[in-house]
Structure 1
Amino acid sequence: MTNLLDPAKLNTAIENVHRAGVPGVFAEVRAEDQVWRGAAGVADLVVGRPVTADMRHRVGSVTKTFTAAAVLQQVESGRIGLDAPIRRYLPKLVPGARGDAITVRMLINHTSGLAEYLPYAYPSLGPFPNLADTRPQSLDDHRFTRFDPVELIEMGVTAPAFSAPGGTPGLYSNTNYLLLGQLLEQVTGTTAEKYITQNVVERAGLQDTGFPDGPHLGGPHSQMYEAWFGMIDPPRDFSVFDMSYAGVAGSLVSTVADLNRFFGLLFDGEIVSRSSLAQMRRTVTVISQEGRTIEYGLGTYPMKAPGGTTFWGGGGTVWGAGTISMTSADSKRQMSVAINLQRWSRLDSSGKPRPHAIDDALTALYGLAMNG
């Protein structure tokens, strides 16, 4: 059998991410029937507890792929029209002409024009993502705040619109996905979290993936250190945090093994149909939360690994935790990586993050994992 993975090189690459400044990093790489799992560094800076590759982790916006898949299942069943106006289903949440103009598809691919609610939920973050003007005090202030998704949606809907519905580039906005959660609740008669759990998570056979029921993580997990561009120094642990601010847009907990399994099944047509997959891969131009221009499909997007090969998947960040998952077009090669530090780069005079050795080390790991 051809050796498609080089464990020694992967171990060195993941160790280099830790040495560059990430307290703990863990990953799983799959190449056909070969699997490598590795970890480097610590899960707790105080006691020195090591990270392990099987740890549960907050995966942030990777949640959106699960939510999009759930909505597309309902599209396949005929209960939701992909190009139907959202006002048909949620007239009170998106009323009037805008509710008639915004379609379900526009919510999934972030071309609704709706604003992001986070600056209003966390007021001291300032005009996020204008990073130079932000202050992270809201993270501590709202550590145990239980947000109502309808109230968060109202913040985003009543804020000044980014653009007219359907305009490009779109704006990556969590408001869109909280609306999709309410849409799922409306058409299924159960909570979005329960529907996604039963019809996506359990359908994929994921044993360590689910939505948290409080601010604490269960099972083996790491602390999660937020630096907020050097404004929190030393980085502070935010592993205990109420994730209701993200809901079905970003609160899911998973493992690197579960993520690889999920994306493998998804892109093999086991979660949604092949026709739905084709819709998921139709991309539009979107402005990311970091202000970059990206291509975005329906809950998933293309990413280029070093070497130029395009992979599909998703990434996510929460306070102190980051995750990325990539899958090749034929699903034969996959990578999921989790780290327990976020926003490690200090800002330059223009308010943009400075280059950091962590970025280079992660890029090297991704390239080795996906290209061999």
Structure 2
Amino acid sequence: MKNALDSAALNDAIENVHRAGMPGLFAEVRDGDRVWRGAAGVADVATGRPVTADMRHRVGSITKTFTAAAILQQVESGRIGLDAPIGRYLPKPVPGERGEAITVRMLINHTSGLAEYFPYAYPSFKAFPALAETGPQSLDDHRFTRFDPTELIEMGVTAPAVGTPGGTPGVYSNTNYLLLTQLLEQVTGTTAERYITRNVIERAGLRDTAFPAGPNVDGPHSQLYEAWFGMIDPPRDYSVYDMSWVGPAASLISTVTDLNRFFGMLLAGEIVSPSSLAQMQRTVPVVSQEGKTGGYGLGLYPMEVPGQGTFWGHGGTVWGAGALAMTRADGKRQMAVAVNMQRWNRLDSSGTPRPHPIDDALATLYRVAMYG
């Protein structure tokens, strides 16, 4: 399983993603004690300012792993039952039979059957994956909108269910994680952001990871270019954005170095106990927002790499920003990649995203990063 860290191959692979059309990207790969950091392209297409590997970045749903870890800490302390009904803790947002049927575990692994609130909060976006009917207008309309998480949860809970509680495949839904952050607040008596900061981010010693204080990314960062399937052409910068539309489900700002440190410590049993980690690695089939079915655990998902074993981690996208962090089960090999453009695939007449050279170039970068 030993594989050298090939700096030349990694430099070529990251350059090729930029050449394929990504404005800028940066990454860190670790193999034992050896570390490679690289960057390619620009942080600002207007000025040509280059991206650097130490930039802070919106990491989207990678936040869910932090939230799941925080919940499992509370499970360990006996304040939350992993298989207890959510209605026991939050009877108001999830009332009646549904509150009795949906457990905490089902929220974490997306098998609650609760719908995604997103198309209801952003009216010009119809439900995924009917992308042909969507328009980017809502993006600008909501740049500074302050969403109330209680209202977002209500949109998801009152929308038609996408499955039965505990049924598989589950359907990925941010509604689940907004409920989990309310659960954290209920049992800890503090905000989810504050609890996660103290007990997950600070416990892991992450210096550049934080929930945003406002619509800006503090510190050195890239502009974030949203193409919305070619409907925004040229892609527009959405780096300044009020992240209350996802809250502690997907709003974290971090660096590739911090992401590798966090996942390394998590998989070493240093953020949650080894038995909690084993629960996190129990997967069920879940349909992603892109309509693909894959295994999902408790805020973690696996990538099987031929001949290299299993990598665990999470990906994330928000407007203009994407990130992926994967760590091999033994913790020895790690990869974290951040990109500054999203939804670069144009749509065909049926609304299906067309292949783009960026897809192949990124797949090659991931392959070189994970196993040389």
d(CA) in 2 for partners of 1:58 and 1:153? 22
For residues 310-353 of structure 1, the C-alpha deviation after alignment (integer angstroms, 9 at most, x for no partner) is 31100000000000001001000000000000000111222111
Query: Hey, which bits of structure 1, 4+ residues long, moved more than 4 A?
Result: 305-309
CA 1:116 to 1:21, structure 2 compared with 1: closer, same or farther past 3 Å?
A: same
Partner of 2:36: 36
Are residues 1:162 and 2:162 paired?
A: yes
- SS of 2:124's equivalent in the other structure is helix
For residues 279-303 of structure 1, the C-alpha deviation after alignment (integer angstroms, 9 at most, x for no partner) is 0010011110001111100000002
d(CA) in 1 for partners of 2:223 and 2:294? 30
Aligned pairs for 1:220-239 (under 5 A) are 220-239=220-239
Tell me whether 49-58 or 297-306 shows the greater mean CA deviation.
297-306
- SS of 1:30's equivalent in the other structure is strand
Q: Is the 8 A contact 2:147 2:245 kept in 1?
A: yes
d(CA) in 2 for partners of 1:245 and 1:306? 38
Are residues 1:347 and 2:347 paired?
A: yes
**Alpha-carbon shift at residue 131 of structure 1 (Å):** 0.8
Q: Is the 8 A contact 1:306 1:364 kept in 2?
A: no
Are residues 1:294 and 2:294 paired?
A: yes
Q: Is the 8 A contact 2:225 2:236 kept in 1?
A: yes
Identity %: 78
Partner of 1:255: 255
Partner of 2:123: 123
d(CA) in 2 for partners of 1:310 and 1:106? 23
Report how many aligned residue pairs link the two structures. Answer: 371
CA RMSD for the aligned pairs? 1.1
Partner of 1:356: 356
List runs of 5+ in structure 1 lacking aligned partners: none
**Alpha-carbon shift at residue 64 of structure 1 (Å):** 0.1
d(CA) in 2 for partners of 1:68 and 1:154? 21
The amino acid that maps onto 2:205 is G
Q: Is the 8 A contact 1:217 1:240 kept in 2?
A: yes
- SS of 1:63's equivalent in the other structure is helix
- SS of 2:214's equivalent in the other structure is coil
The amino acid that maps onto 1:357 is P
- Taking structure 2 as the reference length, what is the TM-score of the superposition? 0.98
Partner of 2:96: 96
Q: Is the 8 A contact 1:128 1:134 kept in 2?
A: no
The amino acid that maps onto 1:133 is E
Aligned pairs for 1:1-372 (under 5 A) are 4-305=4-305, 309-372=309-372
The amino acid that maps onto 1:181 is T
Q: Is the 8 A contact 1:306 1:367 kept in 2?
A: no
d(CA) in 2 for partners of 1:8 and 1:128? 39
d(CA) in 2 for partners of 1:168 and 1:205? 36
**Alpha-carbon shift at residue 213 of structure 1 (Å):** 1.2
The amino acid that maps onto 1:109 is N
d(CA) in 1 for partners of 2:56 and 2:307? 30
For residues 246-279 of structure 1, the C-alpha deviation after alignment (integer angstroms, 9 at most, x for no partner) is 1111000000000000000000000000000100
The amino acid that maps onto 1:268 is A
The amino acid that maps onto 1:230 is G
Q: Is the 8 A contact 2:69 2:271 kept in 1?
A: yes
List runs of 5+ in structure 2 lacking aligned partners: none
